Structure 1
Amino acid sequence: MPSLLSTAITVLAASQGILAACTNPSVRKSWSALTDDEKTSYISATLCLMDPAQAPAKTGYAGSTTRWEELQAAHVSQAQFVHSVGAFFPWHRWYMTVQEKLLRDECGYTGPMPYWDEQAEQAVLPLENASILNASVTAGFGSASLDANGCVVDGPYTNVRLTLDTELNRVDPVCLSRDFKQKEYDQVAQKIIDACMALEDYVNLNNCLGASPHTGGHYAIGGTMDDPSLSPGDPLFFLHHTNLDRLWWQWQAQNESRLTDIGGNNVAQGFFWSSVQPSSLDVNAFLPYFNDNGNETTLDHVMWMAGIAENITIAEVMDIKSDAICIEYQ
């Protein structure tokens, strides 16, 4: 961990008193750095969360039958309020942590949490050879081979069926699908990241990393990942977003003031985002949670998790060594 970051954490804790003890942080590693046993265990844990016999839904929100479906429903419920907004990075940091807690508490996972180091791999490998794309049922997320409908045909997730639509209705099951696009993958290149990292404030960083590096990772995988609301149905969503969080943390670590730097709108503007927000959950349903007294995102902004985890403030997740997050990237 960079020494500047360690100093920043110490100073912030002493001056503001908002950081609880984090003495045993959870480790996050590149997927390619995990051992074969760790990969097998992680995949097994994700399949456990998808199994109603092993991880039945506890809230039943939006007709969910598993904890995995509850995760997806939490994301679908607030597409317009967690994308292209100030809360984008903090909310997804908390969301990644919630997924981790479910994997560990519900399914007994004990290994590192993986991220997909898209920048390192894009520099040397075509998308079809990415470390995450492997037909093995124990070592990857399916290969680049798909059927005529784009359905995943090998690997551990061939039997996954998704039943949620963007209006939070349960529909006929559909396969986990993909549609690989090298051109989109090239949008996660390190040179694009470097330009974002040079920006001095959170609002501009959010607009930069939240554009091509974010959407490029989604659209590169395609299929289920193409959908801005339903994309958490694909396990690769979590490896992609954990990598984005790693990049945000690298930017934060450059200056201690960035541990409190937040801003941006609370509601994504434009027809696209309003069209993917469930009609039953407009902005009035979320105003009580924002806690910002306006449309500007602040540290007091409360992040809603649809009952699968505590609703906490952005301030509580700004530092990855806070009690709420307690992780380290390797």
Structure 2
Amino acid sequence: MLAALDKRHEELIKRGQKSTCNSQTVAIRKEYGNLSPQEKTDYINAVLCLQGKAALTPTSLVPGARTRYDDFVATHINQTLTIHYTGNFLSWHRYYVWVYEQTLRNECGYTGYQPYWEWSKYVNAPQNSPLFDGSATSLSGNGAYIPGRNDTVLTAVTASGPVAPLYLTPGLGGGCISTGPFANLTVNLGPRGNPNAAPGPDGGLGYNPRCLKRDINPTTAQRFNNLTDILSLLTQNNDIYDFQMELQGIPGIGIGAHGGGHYTIGGDASDLFASPADPAFFVHHGQVDRMWTIWQNLDPEDRTYALAQTRTYLDLPPSANTTLDDPVELGYAGGEQKIIRELMSVVQGDFCYIYV
């Protein structure tokens, strides 16, 4: 992998093109469970640092923003309907996670890189995984168990009209988390698109302080994030449209590995708009980006710059097709405005990272 990166670097230099990404400069993103205890602690402390800094987002724009971490949540809420089931879904979230990683490094002294969550590794008992076991080096544990809950009913409307609802059984929690580093985390924004919670004030952008909730769900993980389905996602979809639709979930048929990850965590992470309120969002989307990176590398010539879909959620309302020259911006979360073309490879432009 590193030898191939150096070869590519040398070829670009020979052609007179700028390239600073090689085996000596590349960032290594690791699976969370493979981090050392100290690496996990360093990552957690950087996230806590971000949650302790003042927001950059003016309260005139987002009344509920209180922390630097809220800047990221607010940006996701504001852009949700133009960054999901759209042509920029993958590139926008790639940039979003990278800017988050850089913010942890530049503003909170973090010296590592963004870890990812390999869903299938813990599919049978995610609540016992290094991510969610509630230990001091986890991303905190499950929420308190709330019995007697009904299935979550997921509805959707496509350009062709409503589709059949999907039903997800309740998980093993449902209430506030009480263990691990984020047990005292206050969520300020949302809900906005959580099927199990009433919307918060000002369309989810108002000040709505509350505990972080989770509902870890092994049944959902086994249904949508198992190894067989992940391998199928990577090997049975030659077209970018098919790949990203299977990843996100075809309405009326399934929620895909992307939706499966969100609903495996449950609680605030299952809110379409405000899901970054749970710090687990970023390890989940590290894995989403990893899946796309692997898929691209299976046929880099045809897949690196492959695009499909339009600029609005399921093309509602109808919109133009996404292009490589469409802009991507993250508001007060940070980062310069980019065009999609600049975000399509993890070893070009500002990006220089790989997954191991």
TM (norm. structure 2) is 0.78
Q: CA deviation at 1:317?
A: 1.2
**Which of residues 293, 305, 308 in structure 2 aligns to 1:263?**
308
Residue 162 of structure 2 corresponds to residue 164 of structure 1: no
Counterpart residue number, 2:198? none
Between the aligned partners of 2:288 and 2:6, the Cα distance in structure 1 is: 21
Contact 1:147 1:153 in 2 (8 A): no
Identity, % of aligned pairs? 30
Residue 183 of structure 1 pairs with residue 219 of structure 2: yes
Q: Does 1:62 align with 2:62?
A: yes
2:209 to 159, 173, 191: 173
In 2, Cα distance between equivalents of 1:70 and 1:239: 18
Please give the residue correspondences for 1:123-134 in structure 2 after superposition, counting only pairs within 5 Å.
125-134=124-133
Q: Indicate how the Cα distance of structure 1 residues 220 and 31 shifts in structure 2: closer, same or farther if over 3 A, else same.
A: same
Inter-CA distance 145–29: structure 2 relative to 1 (3 Å threshold): same
The 3 A distance-change label for structure 1 pair 62 and 10 is: farther
Give the deviation of 1:249 after TM superposition: 0.3
> What is the alpha-carbon distance in structure 2 between the residues aligned to residue 253 and residue 322 of structure 1?
14
Cα RMSD (Å) of the superposition?
Answer: 2.4
Residue type of the alignment partner of 1:315: R
Larger RCO (CA within 8 A; separation ≥ 6)? 1
Q: Tell me which stretches of 4 or more aligned residues in structure 1 moved more than 6 Å.
A: 2-16
Which blocks of at least 5 consecutive residues in structure 2 are unaligned? 147-173, 193-202, 250-255
Partner of 2:338: 312
SS of alignment partner, residue 175 of structure 2? coil
C-alpha separation in 1, matches of 2:14 and 2:62:
43
Determine the structure 1 residue equivalent to 2:248. 210
Letter aligned with residue 277 of structure 2: G
- The Cα shift of 1:22 comes to 2.1
1: CA distance between counterparts of 2:109 and 2:178?
27
Query: Who is 1:277 aligned against?
Result: none
Q: How many residues align?
A: 303
- The structure-2 alpha-carbon separation of the partners of 1:164 and 1:323, relative to structure 1 and needing over 3 Å to count, comes to same
Structure 1 segments unaligned to the other structure (5+ residues):
275-282, 284-293
TM-score w.r.t. the length of structure 1 is 0.84
> Structure 2 matches for 1:82-231, cutoff 5 A?
82-122=83-123, 125-137=124-136, 139-144=137-142, 146=144, 148=146, 150-165=175-190, 166=192, 167-186=203-222, 187-198=224-235, 199-211=237-249, 212-231=256-275
In structure 2, the residue corresponding to 1:151 is in which secondary structure? strand
CA contact (8 A) 1:77 1:168 kept: no
What secondary structure is seen at the aligned counterpart in 2 of 1:150? strand
How do residues 284-295 of structure 1 correspond to structure 2 at under 5 angstroms?
A: 295=320
Deviation at 1:235, TM superposition (A): 0.6
Distance 1:107 1:157, change over 3 A: same
* Range with greater deviation from structure 2 (258-267 or 218-227): 258-267
Residue 184 of structure 1 contacts residue 220 of structure 1 at CA under 8 Å; is this kept in 2?
Answer: yes
